[in-house]
Amino acid sequence: MGTRTAPGTVAWVVSLNAIPYLAVPAYWVFGRDEIGDYVQLRRKRVTSLNRSLESHLDELAPFRSEWSGQDPRLRAVEQLAHIPFIDGNRAELLIDGPAIFTSIFHGIDVAEDYLLVQFYIVRDDKRGRQLQQRLIRKAQEGVRVYVLFDSIGSLDLSRSYINELTEAGVEIRSFFQHESWIDRFQLNFRNHRKLVVADGKVAWVGGMNIGDEYESEGWRDAHVRIEGPVVLNLQLSFLEDWRWVTADLPAVSWQPHKVSDGGVPILVVPTGPADQFETASLMVQQFIHLAEKRIWIASPYFVPDEGVLGALKLAALGGVDVRLLLPEQTDSRLAGLAAYRYMDALSAAGVRIFRYQPGLMHAKVFLIDDRGAAVSTVNMDNRSFRLNFELTALVADPAFAGEVEQMFEVDFANSREMDDNEVTDKPFWVRLASRGANLFAPAL
């Protein structure tokens, strides 16, 4: 009786009747759709937070961009975000782990007032310890440090790692929605956002977590470093999550800082399961609809819903250059198999599919014509579309789009393009396994 997708409902009904001894316990952990109280509480807290900060957010009014007025379709994305395009910003594309870590760590080192740090995965390894020691040092210098990590993504994060931060004065919390450890929200609704904000002036958003594997050879990722007034909207996203976990509100700066060289419009799009609409899926669909010449998409997982699948087909049939950059090898075998289910139909419509060869393609990036590009935490799957808390930065700047284009071109050169008949030529067991894996798509 809830908002579950039809395939998800069918999968649970069949499982509950066919294998009840396995399915009933799984349903109590993963499947119950009783999220009404959670949604209402989350919305209430977000609304309360926005009201309490209304006077501060009004300071962004002079920076509201008219860029969306050029295309009514952009207004729909603004409506989904409940945030307008903000002008006067600078965006820097960061490619791969070394460049991303260097930029974020430098930003932490020079912070003077406070740091907001949020990652889905934090490892207790070399890179994780480097982050920890920097945060401890800043706390000892008097900088206020707030850290939020996901309790499932960082399940193996050691207690000693957390205790050392706490003892140094760092405020660190896990994204733990309810008190009962058996509550399904702790397993199903994950905070997949990766965000760092320094002093309300600079922020970093993208696909990379904290761990040694994120700078290993062959790992491809992307982040964006942002300066300007729009950082306050990214800051608001963190505060919504922080207040949900702690019921407290850190004291932060709400003074907009416009860059000196004019700057570019940027739209921040936070998405999550408490949204009124399926914001992430609709956002991706609208990105595709916006494209007049090309839409290039990089994603580590590709298990799209029908809306996104249809939008990709229509764009390609309409003559738009639609390209998907996916990994050849993925860290999720089930998601990798399920992806084959869509390849033939997309190829038939004219979508070009590239499989990245050197390693794992983990970037989540959208290139829309020559007008702009989005760097995101959103994967092209049901979990990102409906279950995870995600964050996207859409940069409306041809120069930034040009940098993203160059990144894609290098990645395409390091990829192989799938043949039209590649899936049908695979052994029967692979095609059968793909169809079977696709039945689990609502849970992936």
Residue-averaged pLDDT of the chain: 87
Q: How confident is the model at residue 392 (pLDDT cuts 50, 70, 90)?
A: very high
Q: Cα separations (Å) of 170 from 131, 175, 193, 313?
A: 12, 16, 20, 48
In 3D space, the residue among 204, 409, 220 whose CA is nearest the CA of residue 299 turns out to be: 220
Q: Is the pLDDT of residue 364 over 60?
A: yes
Going by their DSSP bridges, the two strands 302-303 and 380-381 should be labelled as: parallel
User: What is the spatial distance between Cα 443 and Cα 304, in angstroms, rounded to a whole number?
Assistant: 12
User: Of 138, 201, 313, 364, which is the active-site residue?
Assistant: 364
Residue 202 · residue 266 · CB < 8 Å = no
User: Is residue 364 flagged as an active site residue?
Assistant: yes
List 258, 369, 370, 426, catalytic entry? 369
Is 225 or 441 the better-scoring residue by pLDDT?
A: 225
Check 96, 138, 192, 223 and give the catalytic one.
Answer: 192
Alpha carbon distance 176, 185 (integer Å): 8
Q: How far apart are CA 266 and CA 67, in angstroms?
A: 9
Q: What is the percent of the chain where pLDDT is above 90?
A: 59
Q: Which residue has the higher pLDDT, 150 or 69?
A: 150
- Active-site residue flag, 313: no
Q: Which domains does the chain have, with CATH numbers?
A: 36-300+362-413 (3.30.870.10)
What is the tens place of the pLDDT at every residue in 2-58? Answer: 555 666 678 778 888 888 888 888 777 666 555 555 666 666 767 777 677 777 778
Task: Tell me how crowded residue 308 is: count the other CB atoms within 10 A of its CB.
Answer: 23
Residue 56 is a catalytic residue: no
Catalytic residue among 194, 201, 223, 313: 194
The rounded distance, in Å, linking the Cα atoms of 335 and 444 is 7
192 labelled catalytic: yes
Give the pLDDT confidence score for residue 333 in this predicted structure: 61
Task: Give me 412's structure tokens.
Answer: 């395409």
Find the catalytic residue in 138, 223, 313, 362: 362
Higher-confidence position of 430 and 203: 203
Catalytic residue status for 331: no
Catalytic residue among 87, 124, 150, 199: 199
Highest mean pLDDT of the ranges 39-43, 60-64, 162-166, 179-183 = 162-166
Q: Is 82 an active-site residue?
A: no
